């Protein structure tokens, strides 16, 4: 095979939703590494999510064109791969370095050996959406070649060096290296990012919606055991707090810190500003005795077929919202200027605070799911958000949202509508409080709901009836199911 056909340059793909650029967060490979087809090679942050991009070819990494921290436009070459490294050494380009340290100039032969990734519409079969190593899914959408230059975000104290240039190195024979074990926190070594778990444990984790990469193994050599998976399932579901709230600020000489607004945070700011100043918001509140709902959850957890399912109060709130939408379809609609679009399907959004900012992934067509299917979908959504693997597609097309502010110990709030939606429900903390029950003051479990809605679509009567129905379900789930279904 000739050098021309061996070396292929991989362009930053179009990750969907009209995104035009992405920041390279981390390279998962380095020059000289042997990679497999669909192996994740780079983590890129777009305006919607951080996404791992898989390799389009198997082979050996010859050059990385942009370092971490670079903002690259879609279609820009980011990595070169030798697709047949076993065919022998590549032709070494003649290079000349000037005394001032200029970068070597590739020869015409080496430039001709670079083969660009296929253009849009020419994606090779079997790659997009295919399974990647470790059970991950390839997320490439398309390849739009572009000749624009990349923009690099300067890093504090960084000095450009010749090593950062995208120049293919001369082939060398690597010396055998004995890997040094690294502690995993339990006294056992880890395996360079690989998750050690037996097939039955992997199947159990998949069935329960547990991401093995987020667990610390207690078995031999740090392997994940069934007990580790079960422990993760039984732990409370709490979405990670934003990084800005937990990281100590770094102040300069002027005692001020300047944080670049980019990625997810930038998109969130734009969406919230547009929504707040476009849709006339109204917020109503309702305090509900949810003691019966909490007892119903306990009974559900005790059933044999539900013992391995993550069951939380959010599950009942989601079910209450979906049933209330059936009774009041106008709540699940969009303002489209000269018309209101009412949607039969419900893509139920769950607001999640992550290290990169607020995201709102949604459960597609949630109204068609059984309670068990809804529980599994919510577990998968939360686990994916916590691990930072939520895809742009998972955050698109939402029709109605729940924000679970109760996990932070907050009673309720006045949430802002996601653009294109007409209602969002804030679910507050469930607390033991004195409550008048059957004519006597007793300690009951109580929560407060806050419903914000677009007053162009939902008037006070409709918003109040919808919120009342959600509250009625949470006050007595069994009676509401008998009455409404």
By annotation, the residues acting in catalysis are 455
Do β-strands 340-342 and 333-335 pair in parallel, antiparallel, or remain unpaired? antiparallel
Distance from C-alpha of 310 to C-alpha of 378, rounded to nearest angstrom: 9
One DSSP character per residue, 350-388 reads EEEEETTEEE--EETTGGGS-HHHHHHHHHHHHHHHHTT
- 3 state SS of 203: helix
CA angle 372-373-379, nearest 5°?
Answer: 90
Structure token digits, residue 398: 């939402």
Taken in order 432, 246, 184, 51, is the CA torsion positive or negative?
Answer: positive
Distance from C-alpha of 365 to C-alpha of 354, rounded to nearest angstrom: 24
User: Smallest Cα–Cα separation from 272: which of 385, 391, 415?
Assistant: 415
Q: What is the DSSP letter of 224?
A: B
Question: Could you tell me if 72 and 146 are in contact, meaning their C-beta atoms sit under 8 angstroms apart?
Answer: no
185 burial (CB, 10 Å; 0-12 / 13-18 / 19+) is exposed
Question: Could you tell me if 27 and 64 are in contact, meaning their C-beta atoms sit under 8 angstroms apart?
Answer: yes
Distance from C-alpha of 62 to C-alpha of 119, rounded to nearest angstrom: 22
Q: What is the DSSP letter of 19?
A: -
CA distances for 464 relative to 281, 380, 439, 470, angstroms: 14, 32, 26, 10
Edge-to-edge strand ranges of the sheet holding 40-45? 50-54, 40-45, 21-27, 70-73, 151-152
Q: What does the longest C-alpha to C-alpha distance in the chain come to? A: 92
- Helix 313-327 to helix 460-475 angle (10° resolution) is 140
Distance from C-alpha of 157 to C-alpha of 154, rounded to nearest angstrom: 9
Do β-strands 423-427 and 400-403 pair in parallel, antiparallel, or remain unpaired? parallel
First to last CA, the chain: 66
- 3 state SS of 291: helix
- 3 state SS of 256: coil
């Amino acid at each position: 095979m000739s050098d021309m056909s061996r070396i292929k340059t991989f362009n930053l793909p179009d990750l969907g939703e009209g995104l035009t650029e992405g920041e390279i967060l981390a390279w998962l490979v380095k020059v000289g590494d042997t990679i497999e087809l669909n192996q994740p090679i780079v983590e890129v942050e777009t305006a919607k999510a951080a996404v791992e991009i898989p390799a389009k070819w198997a082979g050996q990494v010859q050059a990385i064109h942009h370092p971490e921290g670079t903002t690259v436009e879609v279609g820009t070459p980011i990595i070169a791969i030798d697709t047949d490294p076993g065919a022998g050494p590549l032709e070494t380009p003649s290079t000349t370095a000037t005394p001032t340290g200029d970068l070597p100039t590739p020869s015409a032969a080496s430039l001709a050996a670079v083969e660009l990734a296929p253009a849009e519409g020419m994606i090779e079969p079997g790659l997009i959406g295919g399974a990647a190593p470790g059970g991950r899914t390839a997320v490439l959408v398309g390849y739009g070649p572009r000749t624009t230059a990349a923009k690099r975000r300067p890093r504090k104290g960084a000095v450009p060096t010749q090593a950062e240039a995208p120049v293919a190195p001369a082939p060398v024979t690597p010396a055998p290296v004995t890997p040094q074990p690294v502690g995993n926190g339990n006294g056992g070594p880890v395996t360079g990012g690989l998750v050690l778990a037996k097939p039955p444990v992997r199947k159990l984790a998949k069935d329960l919606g547990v991401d093995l990469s987020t667990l610390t193994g207690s078995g031999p050599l740090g392997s994940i055991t069934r007990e580790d998976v079960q422990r993760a399932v039984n732990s409370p579901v709490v979405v990670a707090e934003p990084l800005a709230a937990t990281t100590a600020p770094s102040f300069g000489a002027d005692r001020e810190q300047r944080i670049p607004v980019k990625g997810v945070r930038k998109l969130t700011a734009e969406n919230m500003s547009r929504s707040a100043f476009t849709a006339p918001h109204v917020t109503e509140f309702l305090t509900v005795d949810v003691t019966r709902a909490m007892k119903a959850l306990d009974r559900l957890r005790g059933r044999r077929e539900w013992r391995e399912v993550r069951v939380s109060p959010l599950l009942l709130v989601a079910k209450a919202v979906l049933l209330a939408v059936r009774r009041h379809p106008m709540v699940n609609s969009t303002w489209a200027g000269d018309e209101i679009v009412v949607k039969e399907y419900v893509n139920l959004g769950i607001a999640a605070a992550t290290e990169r900012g607020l995201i709102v992934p949604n459960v597609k067509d949630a109204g068609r799911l059984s309670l068990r299917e809804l529980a599994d979908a919510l577990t998968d959504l939360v686990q994916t958000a916590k691990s930072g693997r939520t895809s742009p597609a998972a955050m698109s097309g939402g029709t109605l949202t729940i924000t679970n502010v109760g996990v932070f110990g907050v009673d309720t709030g006045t949430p802002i509508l996601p653009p294109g939606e007409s209602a969002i429900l804030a679910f507050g903390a469930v607390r033991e409080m004195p409550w008048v029950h059957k004519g006597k003051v007793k300690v009951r479990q109580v929560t407060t709901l806050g419903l914000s809605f677009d007053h162009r679509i939902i008037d006070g009567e409709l918003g109040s009836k919808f919120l009342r129905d959600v509250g009625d379900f949470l006050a007595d789930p069994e009676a509401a199911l008998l009455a409404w279904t």
